Amino acid sequence: MEWRIYIFGGPDQISGAVAKQLAKYGTIIRITNNDIVAFNANPTNNPVDTAIVFAKMWDPEGVVGWKITGPGHGFTLVNINDWQGAVASAPLSHLGFHAPLLLTEGPTQLPSAVDGYLSSVAPTFLTSPADGPYNMTYVIGSWSQISWSQQAHIDYISEMGNHRFWKQNTGSRYTDSSP
């Protein structure tokens, strides 16, 4: 049986020499934020983007990854400088509402990549928000690591949104037409 070894980050984070040493034990799969269809220079790998890539990826051969590209999931958000919080949040990745780890870099503003990702998987409804699905984000850390305003923003971009089309009655009690 050949092992699949996952390394997270580009060559600047985990050198080719280390990858080569590990290759003696199995196939190396490098998780990076590289877009294989991009025509410009490869993006810089960083922990924030690599965490998002891991949340989106799925390797059926190794049964590794989250494959979260739509609504109805949990997430864990930790400040990148709080390694203790990241370690302590690990059980949330498996218990109950499974939650991959996402990272923020400061207490006041969400990185644009995380903001975009959470917005892209935010749930919508056509008839009733009671139908779900819902997203949930565990925020780990003190107010100085992730501020109240940042948490409110996360809640806002992750909340259930109305997906009705303008001037169409989709079964709700109210229509968009004038009386």
Q: Count CA atoms within 13 Å of residue 101 on its CB side.
A: 18
Domain residue ranges of the chain, discontinuous segments joined by +: 1-45, 47-162
pLDDT tens track for 50-74? 999 999 999 988 888 899 998 988 8
Q: Count CA atoms within 13 Å of residue 49 on its CB side.
A: 13
Under DSSP, the state recorded for 137 is E
pLDDT of residue 124: 83
State what percent of residues in the chain have pLDDT above 70: 84
With a cut of 70, say whether residue 147 has pLDDT above it.
Answer: yes
**pLDDT interval class at 25 (50, 70, 90):** very high
With a cut of 50, say whether residue 142 has pLDDT above it.
Answer: yes
pTM of the model: 0.81
pLDDT of residue 78: 96
With a cut of 90, say whether residue 13 has pLDDT above it.
Answer: no
Mean pLDDT of the chain: 84
**pLDDT interval class at 1 (50, 70, 90):** low
Q: Quick one: residue 47, left, alpha or beta (phi over 0 = left, psi -120 to 50 = alpha)? A: alpha
pLDDT of residue 4: 92
**Cβ pair 133, 127 in contact under 8 A:** no
What's the chain's Rg over C-alpha atoms? Answer: 19
State what percent of residues in the chain have pLDDT above 90: 48
